[in-house]
Amino acid sequence: YRLSPAVTPGKQKRIWIHAVSVGEVRSLKHLIVQLKKIYKNTEIVLTVTTPTG
């Protein structure tokens, strides 16, 4: 696998979410908003395998 150069190794906590369909990507919006409220100092990375997602 390959991550964006913007995602670099580090000491910051990270939540990595992977989606495989457009439906999954759309359904994650609410979850990500809530995670950002709860884990304010944690980076959230979303990866997808669909070109339309």
pLDDT at 28: 95
Residue 1 confidence (pLDDT): 53
CB atoms within 10 A of CB 1: 4
pLDDT digits (tens, 9 = 90+) for 2-41: 667 777 777 789 999 999 988 999 999 999 999 999 999 9
pTM higher than 0.85 for the full model? no
Q: Are 35 and 44 in contact (CB under 8 A)?
A: yes
Provide the CB-side half-sphere exposure for 13 (13 A, CA): 8
Instruction: Please tell me the predicted confidence (pLDDT) of residue 53.
Output: 52
* pLDDT the model gives residue 11: 74
DSSP reduced 3-state for 52: coil
What is the dihedral sign for C-alpha 26, 30, 33, 38? negative
Q: What is the sign, positive or negative, of the torsion defined by CA atoms of 35, 40, 45, 50?
A: positive
